[in-house]
Structure 1
C-alpha cells in the first residue's frame, strides 16, 4: 500500500520548483510522495574511510587503464602489489549513515533501488537489496582466459603465500594500512613493487583481473539496460556522491531529465549533471542523506 501511494504523483514539476542550490529540506520537498532510484559514487563512501577520486580535497589520481593492464606484465605486477595492500583496508570498511539511510528508505518502499559506481559493496552490507554494481565488485576476480571467477579473499591468501614479507615491508614504519593512501578501487600508494609476484589462474595459468570495470573498459550492456529500467521504474532520480565526470553515470541523469523526472543531486563540488538538477545540495553526503531519510519517513 505504501509503494502504491508513492507512485501516484506525476514526474514533471513546475518551473518554480527548480532549486539549483538547495538544502536537504528542498530535496525532501521535491521527493516527497515519489519513489526514486538512487545513483551513487565514491563520495558516499568517504565517511567509511575510502577516499574518493574527485572531491575538492582529493589528491590527483591516475588510475590504470584496461589496455595497460592486459598488455603489460609490469603494469599487472604493479597493480596487484598495490591492490594487495589496499585490499587489507577496503575489506575492513563498514557502511556509514548514508548507506544505512538509503537501505532504510528501500525498506519503506520509497527507494526503488540503487545504481552504484562503487565496487566496495557497502550498499549490500548496509542492507540494500536491489543494487546494481555498475562497475563491478571488488570481492571477485575473473580469469581473462578461462573466465572462471574466484573470491578476492581466496586470491589474497595466494598472494600472501607468494609474497610472505611484502606487507611487512610496506608497513615498516607505518602504524596500520589505514595510514597509506588508498583509492576507491583498493589501489594503495606503494612505490616499490618490482619484486612482487602476482598469482596466475590456478585452473589454466591465465591472467587474473578484478571483476571491476577499468577505465577504458565498457560496462556490460545487460547491466546498463537493467540500470535504465530501474530509473524508468521510479518517479525521480537521486544522485549522491559523484561528480558524474564519466558518461557511465551521467547518462542516467540525462535519461531521467529527458523523461521529465525530478533529479536531486547531493555532492560536495560541482557535477556535470548540475544543469539538469531540480535541486542541487552541495553538502556532506552522509549528513544530507540521513536528514533526507528522516524527512521522508515522517
Structure 2
C-alpha cells in the first residue's frame, strides 16, 4: 500500500519519500501506523527509528443504504391525522456530514400524495397529514430518497407501498327510476311498478348489499342483475280497500357493523269500474 523511495538531493544528502501505491479506504482502516528505520553505512551500523501515524480523511465515497428496497404497509382508511405509517432507516458508513442522512419524497411524487403523507427529513418518519380514503385510492406507491450531506451529495432510493384497508364507512345508495306512482286496481300480478338500483362504494363484505321490503305488502322485489331490482305487484289490488301504499325499501350491506339506507315509494291505486250500483231492497211509493 505504501512504498518508501530514497531520493539523492543536489547537496548529496538523501531523503526518503513515502509514496501511496493503493487507494485508501477509511471505512476499512481509518489509521495506518508505520515504523521508519534509517541505517548508516558504518561498521557496525547505527540506526534510528520513528513512527509515522497516518489518519485517513473521509471522502464521500459511500451511498446511503436503506434496510429494505421496498416497504409494504397496510393502513386502515380514516386513520387520524398524525398517525405514523413507518420509520424509514438508511445508513451511510461515511463520517461527519458525509454520513448524515436526510429523507425526501422523490420529485415525481404527485401533490395529491403529498397532501396525505409527509416525511420528517431527519428521522425518516412517514406520517399521515390528510384524509386516507379507500374510495379515492386503494394503494399508494411512494418513492423515497435518502440523501447524505456531503459537498457532492449522493442518494439512495426505496419505495413505500401502502395498501389501504377498507372500513365500512359508506351506507348503500338507492336510486329509483321508472316509477309508476299510480297503478290501476285491476293491474295483474307481475306488473312492474319501479326499477331500483342499489350500490355501495365500499369493498368486500362492506360493499355487498341486499334489498328488502315488508312481506305483508302486495309487492315484491326481484333481483334482475347486479344489484338492479324491479318492484313488482304480487297480489291483486282493491282500491275500495286501500287507496295508497307507502312502500318502505331498505338496502343493507354485510359489513360489521352493517349500514343501511331506507326510502319510501308511494303508489296510488286508481279506480276502475269494477263495482255494480247498489239498489235498495224496498221501494216506497207515496200517493
Could you tell me the TM-score, scaled by structure 2's length? 0.19
**What is the TM-score normalised by the length of structure 1?**
0.19
State which structure, 1 or 2, has the greater radius of gyration over its C-alpha atoms.
Answer: 2
Highest RCO, 1 vs 2 (Cα 8 Å, sep ≥ 6):
1
